[in-house]
Amino acid sequence: MAHVLPDSIRHQLSYLLAKTHQRQLRLFDAHTEGMQVSGRQYATLLALEANDALHQSDLAEWLGLDRTTVTYLVDGLEKRGWIARQRAPADRRAHRLHLTEDGVAALAKIRPAARAATQALLAPLDNNEQTQLRTLLVRLLP
């Protein structure tokens, strides 16, 4: 006898959001296959594209990650030559992050694949529904 996930779980918002996130991660991985980039790395590159000289601590807050995890994330991107880390002049304990030319080039290659992954996720929704979903999700965030 096959077990069926009960509606009491399947219709829970936390379950739906978690499963949607898992699907987005799988789609991102599939569309960026061979690029050796994670969603967190892509988010970091996007954050630095929009905010040059971003403090590493701000990046941690924006991504909702602890500082140790962000240190490893930044280390990996720095090793690839996609970002550069500098001591902040006003506070030598802090680091400011910059997107490098290689990082800009990498972002240009990753962005279309990431967009395709999002399009695949949202394909069941029409344009108005996609806009409405984004609007509602933004309203749920502080």
Residue-wise DSSP of 16-50: HHHHHHHHHHHHHHHHTTTS---HHHHHHHHHHHH
34-140: CATH architecture: Orthogonal Bundle (1.10)
> What's the pLDDT band for 120 if we cut at 50, 70, 90?
very high
> What's the pLDDT band for 69 if we cut at 50, 70, 90?
very high
Domain extents in the chain: 34-140
Dump pLDDT digits (tens) for 25-63: 999 999 999 999 999 999 999 999 999 888 998 999 999
Q: How far apart are CA 123 and CA 9, in angstroms?
A: 24
pTM over 0.95: no
Here the tokens at position 69 are: 């995890």
pLDDT of residue 23: 97
Give the rounded percent of residues in the chain with a pLDDT score beyond 70: 100
pLDDT of residue 68: 93
